[in-house]
Amino acid sequence: MSMAVCERCGGKGFVLIEEKKCTACKGTGKAKSINLSGLSEQQLKLALAGSCPTCNGTGATQVTEKCSECNGCGEIKECRVCGSRFGGDGDLCQSCAENQSVGILSNLCDVSDLRTGEVYEGSVNGVVDFGVFVDLNKKIRGLVHSSNISSEVGVGDTIHVRVKNIKPNGNIELIPEKLKKYQIVEIEKDFPVYPSSDLSKCIGKTVSIKGRVIQIKQTSGPTIFTVLDGTGATICAAFDRAGERAYPKIEADAIAKVIGAVSLRNREIQIEVADMRQMLGSEAAEVHDRIEDALDAASEPQEIDFMIESEVLKALKGNMRTVAKRIRRAVFASQPILLRHHADADGMTAAVAIEKAILPLIRDVGGADAEYHYYRRSPSKAPFYEMVDITRDLCFALEDQERHGQNLPLIVIVDNGSTEEDVPAFKHAAVYGIDIVVADHHHPDEIVDQYLCGHVNPYHVGGDFGITAGMLCFEIARMINPDVTEEIKHLPAVAALGDRSEADEAKKYIDLVSDQYSRSDLSDIALALDYEAFWLRFQSGRGLLDDILNLGKIDRHRMLVKLLCEQARAAIADQLQAAMPHLRTQKLQNGVSLNVIDLEHFAQKFTFPPPGKTSGEIHDRICQKTSDPVVTLGYGPDFVVIRSRGAGMNIPRMVRELHDELTGAGVNGGGHLVVGSIKFVEGMRTEVLQRLAEMIGELETG
């Protein structure tokens, strides 16, 4: 029971009401003629010293009254039953004192925790001729003698009994009690509370932990609870009956106290649960706040210097730290992370950089197999987070929540997520309260920011698409976990060449690894990624991408990249051999060389290279032959892919204008300023292409 000095009376037990002039000494404090026989020893000493014994020589007398706050005892106590504050004797407030306390023993309590004369709640276990056996918990059983039974009871009935006697042999004599008003008091056996981070020192001991239940998994044997306490997550195995849910009242996200023996299972710390209860009220709030404070401190990103000099990166550092902190918080809170990326070399390198940073942390927090429960990566074929993506992601997340009690994931989107096309998917995520962070270099639309809790984009600080997602995520990954720097240092250079970046930052990242990789090596890795992305489709390619990116065995990396590049170049050559004769070229009035190819009829479908890559390869070959401004359009029944050089293109703006001008065309799309794609209804293809060509002819060049 906690106690504190009463603030109202300062611990004296009384408060001053009034102070008057002493009538005995007329306020002088000096002794007058007095009757020494009626004085106490202290007053006699004062009188002999010449001081007035009535006022103790102060010249004034005080009128006091008993402190109503502490009831005259000078201390404020906390009721052991209801937790309310009160003053007075005992350890119960007046309300609880008026009700009989009835104890409920936890299953860990034994006979030593019983008190003679106290009342407990129990369950009838058996009825025999000489009395009734009552279970006070799973360990303690007593007997109510038949002479004390006045009404019929049956097995399973809940009754209240008073402990009459505990015999030396351990037998417990009970007397039934019929109570009209009573107060339930939960009685627990105290075990030391340890943080999860210290449990490795407690193997073989019975301990308790307090934390938040973040996952519940039912196996064919025990129920597995994962409990987070701010220092880590602990697996707690509870068994009632094989395949049956233990502690069914405890749901995911509950604050709980777990008591059990610490053991080592498959080289991972585990608690074999002996008792588990949900914490409520101020007790739960204290644990919740402690967890939140610990998570907030652990989530702070590492302080790093960027690997290259860049004014744009410096300006983005605050936003990058926001994204890194949110990702770290998800890791340390054991919140699932869903990593989405565009299915090309830039998107893959960006995603793998984040992946390599977070997986060691996830394993540190949740154990060796935690990455399979708390992390998933998926490519997006479209250059935006489309409805098919969010639908798949929500289905997986809701199934995991239903089956395992997991929290909904944090969605991390890289090389995607900055445009208005992402908004429908973001709205779906918002319905479920799912947080999203984005690191992208596509031209952003302001509308997306209201759906994001972190957004990194070079356009926000005056940069452009030349700083690719792979570069951004490399530095964000280092903020999350700087230990991965050397392992992934070449990824931004691969991203730069894969996305054909001509920014100064691209050159610096390429130079950063020039002692290990030639420009040709990096280009081959980027091509191998693009080729493999086509065949992976919706699969993550984990492991396979590691080999392509030289994050595994060096010999296998070299053989695989060589093979994939040979196949990719052969496929590109076949595609261009079929398509180039059908390319139409015309010089526009502003000097732009406009090149148009019908990919529906003059390119192989459903194989590599896809329409976007085919258009890019055609565009590159044209650019090698001329120094004029070049725009290449590869179109199909309901789309057109745009590549440009030297023309003042702003594809997102052109898309908006086409949408507004051509009623019934259903124009949408976007991308970078000079690289992108447009979709429309098939019946309006001619009108869209004609108006697009007119808009290109009106562009400024040079």
Q: Evaluate whether residue 244 is within a structural domain.
A: yes
pLDDT at position 2: 60
Please give the C-alpha separations between residue 364 and each of 334, 337, 406, 476, in angstroms, as whole numbers: 11, 15, 19, 20
The runs of H, that is alpha helices, within 518-553 are: 519-536, 544-548
Cis-peptide, bond into residue 609, ω within 30° of zero: yes
> Alpha-carbon distance 619 to 228, whole Å?
54
pLDDT digits (tens, 9 = 90+) for 177-225: 888 888 888 888 888 999 998 999 999 999 999 999 988 888 899 999 9
| 522 and 552 assigned to the same domain | yes
Q: What whole-number distance in Å separates Cα of residue 452 and Cα of residue 448?
A: 7
Asked whether the predicted pLDDT for residue 326 surpasses 60, the reply is: yes
Residue 154 lies in a domain: yes
Can you tell me the distance from the alpha carbon of 511 to that of 509, in angstroms, rounded to the nearest whole number? 5
523 and 638 part of one domain = no
The string of pLDDT tens digits covering residues 364-410 is 888 788 888 899 999 998 888 999 999 999 999 999 888 877 889 99
The single-letter DSSP state of residue 673 is: S
Three-state DSSP class for residue 256: strand
Q: Within this chain, do residues 265 and 356 fall inside the same structural domain, yes or no?
A: no
Percent of the chain with pLDDT over 90: 66
Query: Within a domain: residue 336?
Result: yes
CATH number assigned to the domain comprising residue 171: 2.40.50.140
676 and 618 in a single domain? The answer is: yes
Sheet strand arrangement including 410-414: 375-380, 337-342, 410-414, 436-439, 454-456
Total number of domains in the chain: 4
Any idea which residue has 């004062």 for tokens? 46
Cβ contacts of residue 227 below 8 Å, gap of 6+? 196, 209, 211, 212, 213, 214, 233, 234, 236, 256, 258
| Residue-wise burial string across 114-143, b where 16 or more C-beta atoms lie within 10 A, e elsewhere | beeeebbbbebeebeeebbbbebbeebbbb
Indicate whether 218 and 183 sit together in one domain: no
CA distance 126 to 120: 17
CATH code for position 589: 3.10.310.40
Last residue of a domain, one of 187, 210, 245: 187
Residue 481 belongs to some domain of the structure: yes
Same domain membership, residue 517 and residue 617: no
Q: Are residues 343 and 361 in the same domain?
A: yes
DSSP percent split of the chain into helix, strand, coil, nearest 5: 40, 25, 35
In which element (H, E) is residue 357 found?
Answer: helix 345-366
User: Mind listing the pLDDT tens digit for each residue in 62-90?
Assistant: 777 878 777 777 777 776 556 666 666 66
Among 59-68, 324-333, 489-498, 614-623, name the one with the lowest average pLDDT.
Answer: 59-68
**Structure token digits, residue 20:** 């008057």
Q: What are the pLDDT digits (tens) for 138-180? A: 889 999 999 998 888 899 999 999 999 999 888 999 999 888 8
Q: Give the confidence band of 250 by pLDDT, cuts at 50, 70, 90.
A: very high
Q: How many residues does the chain have?
A: 702
Are 293 and 305 in the same domain?
Answer: no
Assess whether pLDDT exceeds 90 at residue 582: yes
Tell me if 442 sits within 8 A of 472, measured CB to CB.
Answer: no
270 falls within a domain: yes
Same structural domain, 242 and 368: no
In a domain, 28, yes or no: no
Answer whether 92's CB lies under 8 Å from 80's CB: yes
The strand pairing partners of 268, in sequence order, are 265
183, 203: one domain: no
C-alpha distance from residue 507 to each of 461, 467, 471 (Å): 20, 11, 12
In which order are the strands placed within the sheet that holds 675-679?
Answer: 584-587, 593-598, 630-635, 639-645, 675-679, 668-671
Last residue in a domain, options 187, 209, 228: 187
Residue in the block written with tokens 């009404």: 151
Confidence band of 559 (pLDDT split at 50, 70, 90)? very high
Arithmetic mean of pLDDT, 50-58: 71
Q: Are residues 422 and 526 in the same domain?
A: yes
Residue 423 lies in a domain: yes
pLDDT in tens, 456-497: 999 999 999 999 999 999 999 999 999 999 999 999 999 999
**Strand pairing report for 14-21 and 337-342:** unpaired
Inside any domain, residue 167: yes
The rounded distance, in Å, linking the Cα atoms of 181 and 196 is: 41
**How far, in Å, are 22, 207, 604 from residue 601 at the CA level?**
116, 72, 8
H/E element holding 215?
strand 206-218
Q: Which two tokens stand for residue 59?
A: 């010249």
Helix (H) or strand (E) holding 468: none
Do 382 and 522 reside in the same domain of the chain? yes
Q: What is the enclosing helix (H) or strand (E) of 105?
A: strand 100-105
The CATH number of the domain holding residue 383 is 3.90.1640.30
Domain ranges, residue 619:
583-697
pLDDT score of 186? 84
